[in-house]
Chains A and B, each alone.
Chain A
């Protein structure tokens, strides 16, 4: 009855039976339904084989041996193939053997496996892309396999004719009973099947296309909330259905369970897809049925256990249920998933619409349908479709207002439904018993026309079975007996309908529909142009009228409206309005609805209440997701490596690839999602850097990759960079330090000139050390980018500020000043950088490509400012310009350098003037060279004038004129011997004796008891006495004694006479000397000597030199030299007494 491939025909034919089903209960329907089946049986077995039913069978009977032989051959071959490869090949081989490559569309007996596949195919292809190929292969197999069966019947080829009817006919029966109506309409049958397949393919292609396009578009999240809410509702619905279902155990399934043993052919059993692989076994068993000592039920259960991939709908006792229900469920799911399905999911609440149930007599909703589906209440596609249409028409009826939003939804849903309905195979679920009975009857009728005995055995069984499932079986059983006559006729009554009455049908439908749905609208009659007969009289048309007449309030009719009358009816406007979105977006919404809902729910969970819920479990990648991710990544890597260099990404040996994904593949396969990757939160997780990965080597030791990831902070990160400016500034600073050193010396000299007394610690040596910028300790970081350490950064800035301070002339500064300026500087730089950011991030400008005047001159985006402009702007904004900067460098750095150098020179020359003449350039390092030219300046001194001092009173005495002395001054270092000592105390390392002076002789060996004998005999006794006094301890040199115990040093006067005993203290000595002088007054050489010793021995005798000035006139240079010669060896410490250390002052 689905023969019509013409869309205008289809609904009409459907309509007819549909109305019947809805309104008049099941009995008339059953009659109508069954009749074609029966007729098909006949048609199949006879017509398709171009034979009468008897002919076909007789053929089969004619050569049973040959058939058997052939079967044997086939079976063994199949086994061989199965052993070598898989069932696939075997079946292919079969197909080849048979030489059949007729197109699979020749819808035929072995359509049997197809319906089981077809509903599943789209599901699978959606879920698992990867298995697409396999699916294809399966299809191929089936397609190829099908000719084996299909051709067997219609083709007059030797093979098929040889096939025993027991094998072949039953499938034909079941299948064609459903699909074929009659021989004349077989063409149409084909095409209807065609249409279904095509629809499926279209759908699949559409989805694929949509999926591909998902990645080309960014979809926003705006619909996710709705999706999520709907999904929640759906889930709720499912649960509800589930609970209701669990209340009443599935009776239908159990109905067939206890079926008594029935010896039929196994191949009649609907074993689903796998029956194909088992077909030889089944055939074999069937062939040797009498040798198998097992009941049919046992065999069936055995086989069904072996079978795989059975869906939950599978029930061997209910033929066709699996395919039908799978497809129905799928359609229902799809409808549920559409965005407009929301209002139809549940029963209309009475509270929401109080008058609903007065208007709508037969409420229906998707939830109820789910329930019915699960309870296996649908017998056929028609029932299912009727229910669906009922929903929409209910809605349209109740919401009569054309502008009502629900109408749009309903119309949309209806359209969707119509798209999907062809996907459902037109199967009527029948009880096995029934079918078998039929089949048996057929056989009986065929093989031996009146074989009552044979049929007698089985009839009771069949009957008993039928009774066990009264609800279904009752329906099926009756026609089963009525059918054969119709089938034999080959021309069932209803089949005439499609040809002629179809038009009428349409018209009547339309009329009906308008009458019912739009009865409120007064103008409806004028709109459609048809006369609108009153409800009761509307159906003059054949069988339809009969059925419909009993249905006064049928809402169902409306559902057919747009199939045919879209263009005519006033509803067209609305239907077109129904979908506002473009197709792609719609597909997107539909396909991804569930996944989006899940994702949105996850998100919602985390962010509920507008804040991050910490306690919620984190969103994790599932295992499947991880595998998928790894796969993608691997692909990407491979692409990389193939196009780029061939270097391995890890570069490590022994690193195991993470290729273990294949093992677990498919376990969680259903996790695959439809949404593009960017939509999925989890796929937004950034890639791991290779080095951070947990990698194991071949011994499962974790490879520690931390070291590679660490890096040293480069040196000089916190020091000022090497640049010309830095160098210049540092040079300036060094210059300043040097100048300050000179300054300090000048200060000391000046101070010494002012002060008569010096103190040991009065003058601290000014010895600044050069500036060194300390860098941070070697530091290891694990990250790129600048080091974020405010403290260190601030310290570095502080140091720079300090440097600039120093450079600006501040030798010292207060920490608070430093802090303040550092703060200001950091503030300034922060603003500078912020300004930089503002200018850099200015919106880009569109720039016409004027260079190329081609047609496609496209506007390119260019940054608003070039880098140079950015910097200039930013400097300007902050009150700096290049002139200022340049001016600073020129004025405050370079010129300062020259000024400093000039100042340094001035200072130096000033100091030199102060210290002249001791610090001639010819004086050598320690000034000793000043003596080399035999100058008398140290004696006479020629800088008294500068100091403006007449220390010796030369001027007063007029000596300067008498002797022509150049100057009257005493050399400074002679005057300030103590300063020298102080200086020496400060830097002990700075020995002043270098160069010209003699080296210090080795120290004397201390005299001991043992080595006293080596002394000359004269002193031996004396030493012995000393040693004795000293308790035979070694004798100490005088110098080594502690200072207080030290004896005053013996002074040997120039006369060479030891004038005083050693033990006398110096003062006595001096007194003695004075006395002596008094005594020896008049002797000439004495004062000279005194003077000489004074000059050499420093302050010790300076005090003693109180008066003897008068005698100085006799002093002669020659003498001086002699005195020096004498005095030199006398000195104990060997230091250049009295000379200020040239380094201390002169070294500039």
Chain B
């Protein structure tokens, strides 16, 4: 928070830690990531507003946001999953409010938790949640929108699609499980703390300001929208970090093969694994890695310029959402 720009340094650090970065990323790195995320969010909001305007509405809806990421099926399914569990939690909360139970003390804090499907620690809530009818988050372009009558869904229909969207989530869970397997109790606490890092949770006002609500779009967004944005920002940081780590690995490998860097010593230390201190020694990703990762993620595919083939038009690519 030292400088004006960096408002989410710790959050980003935590998210990066969850995403696989073990070291302590420098302030430059987090600032860079933060600015990227900010740009992405603002772009999203802009696009959403455009979509909403085209639809004839002044305020953006969750559908607009989903529309933006419609091509990333895995992300969509994760988002749906997230929204479903959010519903579950809300109903559970309602129920337990009625019951006056205390088990739901920090349910709201579990946004990011739920986003990655970690439900540990909130056992009873989950139980009730499972019992409660899980509201299915429907996509606008899905089949039921074909017809003008809405029919109650059947419970017994278990989509294979749902399985698929669970698959992506499960993959991440598995990775997280691998990492946490050997953690000590303290480490795990730290880990689960980090997992709750969010751009939006309980920082709604700051987030709105940061993301440019009121300037780009109307200032009173839906809660759902804020939640979705919180989820998406987390996803962005995660993707960036993973890509940056890949870049760094490649670089390290290259350096090792050419063998011409003074950091040889450190690398050798990392190679032999048996008695090494697990992850502390690793050096964090540098801003350059993040930049490279960002470049890779921004690389446009042929599809966007396919229609410009055989013409002399220059392809101006829009910002790609990560």
Contacts and interface: CB of A to CB of B under 8 A. Distances in A.
Interface string B141-171: 1111111110111100100110000000000
Contact of A879 (B145, B151, B305): B305
A828 B306 contact: yes
Interface in A877-930: 877-880, 895-896, 899-900, 902-903, 906-907, 910
Contact of B147 (A740, A877, A896, A902): A740
B146 A824 contact: no
B310 interface: yes
Contact of A899 (B143, B302, B307): B143
A44 B143 CA distance: 121
Contacts of A880: 303, 306
Interface in A802-858: 809, 811, 824, 827-828, 831, 834-835
Contact of A746 (B144, B149, B309): B149
Contacts of B306: 828, 831, 877-880
A900 B144 CA distance: 9
A750 B148 CA distance: 12
Contacts of B184: none
Nearest to A827: B307
Nearest to B159: A899
B180 interface: no
Contacts of B305: 879
Contacts of B302: 876-879
10 contacts: A747-B148, A750-B149, A809-B143, A835-B310, A878-B306, A895-B160, A900-B143, A906-B151, A907-B149, A907-B151
B161 to A, nearest CB: 7
B301 interface: yes
B303 A903 contact: no
Contact of B309 (A740, A811, A878): A878
Given A809-B143, A879-B303, 20 more contacts: A739-B146, A743-B148, A743-B149, A746-B149, A750-B149, A828-B306, A828-B307, A877-B302, A877-B306, A878-B302, A878-B303, A878-B306, A879-B306, A895-B160, A896-B143, A903-B144, A906-B152, A907-B151, A910-B149, A910-B152
A743 B303 CA distance: 38
B307 A824 contact: yes
B309 A835 contact: yes
B304 interface: yes
Nearest to A907: B151
A736 interface: yes
Interface of B: 141-149, 151-154, 157, 160-161, 301-307, 309-310
Interface centre among A740, A746, A811, A903, by most chain B C-beta atoms within 10 angstroms, is A903
B309 A877 contact: yes
A824 B307 CA distance: 9
Given A831-B309, A834-B310, A879 B304 contact: yes
Nearest to A806: B146
A879 B301 contact: yes
Contacts of B147: 739-740, 743, 903, 907
B128 to A, nearest CB: 27
B322 to A, nearest CB: 19
Contacts of A835: 309-310
B157 A902 contact: yes
Most A Cβ at <10 Å: residue of B148, B151, B310: B151
A910 B151 contact: yes
Contacts of B145: 809
Interface string A670-710: 00000000000000000000000000000000000000000
A805 to B, nearest CB: 12
Contacts of B154: 906
Taking each of B144, B152, B309, B310, which has the highest tally of chain A beta carbons within 10 Å of its own beta carbon? B309
Interface in A638-669: none
Q: Which 4 A-B pairs have the closest CB atoms?
A: A879-B303, A879-B306, A809-B146, A879-B302
A854 B156 CA distance: 72
B141 A747 contact: no
Nearest to A811: B146
B280 to A, nearest CB: 40
B275 to A, nearest CB: 44
Nearest to B147: A743
A80 B321 CA distance: 112
Nearest to B146: A809
A903 B143 CA distance: 8
Contacts of A827: 307
A609 B302 CA distance: 48
Contact of B307 (A747, A831, A907): A831
B141 A831 contact: no
A802 to B, nearest CB: 16
A1017 B301 CA distance: 100
A873 to B, nearest CB: 11
B151 A736 contact: no
Contacts of A747: 148-149
Contacts of B151: 746, 903, 906-907, 910
A824 B308 CA distance: 12
Contacts of A895: 160-161
A747 B310 CA distance: 51
A743 B147 CA distance: 7
Contacts of A739: 146-147
Nearest to A835: B309
B3 to A, nearest CB: 41
A836 to B, nearest CB: 12
A736 B146 contact: yes
Contacts of A879: 301-306
Nearest to B160: A895
Given A876-B302, A879-B302, A809 B307 contact: no
A827 B313 CA distance: 15
A867 B195 CA distance: 51
A1105 B157 CA distance: 47
Contacts of A746: 149, 151
Interface in A718-754: 736, 739-740, 743, 746-747, 750
A750 B147 CA distance: 15
A746 B309 CA distance: 49
A747 B148 CA distance: 8
B256 to A, nearest CB: 33
Contacts of A824: 307
B85 to A, nearest CB: 23
Nearest to A838: B310
B145, B146, B152, B302 — which one has the most chain A CB atoms within 10 A of its CB? Answer: B146
A732 to B, nearest CB: 10
Nearest to B153: A906
A824 B304 CA distance: 14
A878 B302 CA distance: 6
A813 B152 CA distance: 27
Contacts of A831: 306-307, 309-310
Contacts of A906: 151-154
A120 B92 CA distance: 120
A671 to B, nearest CB: 51
A740 B151 CA distance: 12
Nearest to A739: B147
Contacts of B161: 895
Contacts of A809: 141, 143, 145-146
A902 B151 CA distance: 11
Nearest to A902: B157
A539 B148 CA distance: 126
Contacts of B310: 831, 834-835
Nearest to B303: A879
A899 B144 CA distance: 9
A828 B141 CA distance: 24
A924 to B, nearest CB: 26
Contacts of A878: 302-303, 306, 309
A895 B73 CA distance: 14
B141 to A, nearest CB: 7
Contacts of B141: 809
Nearest to B161: A895
A902 B157 CA distance: 8
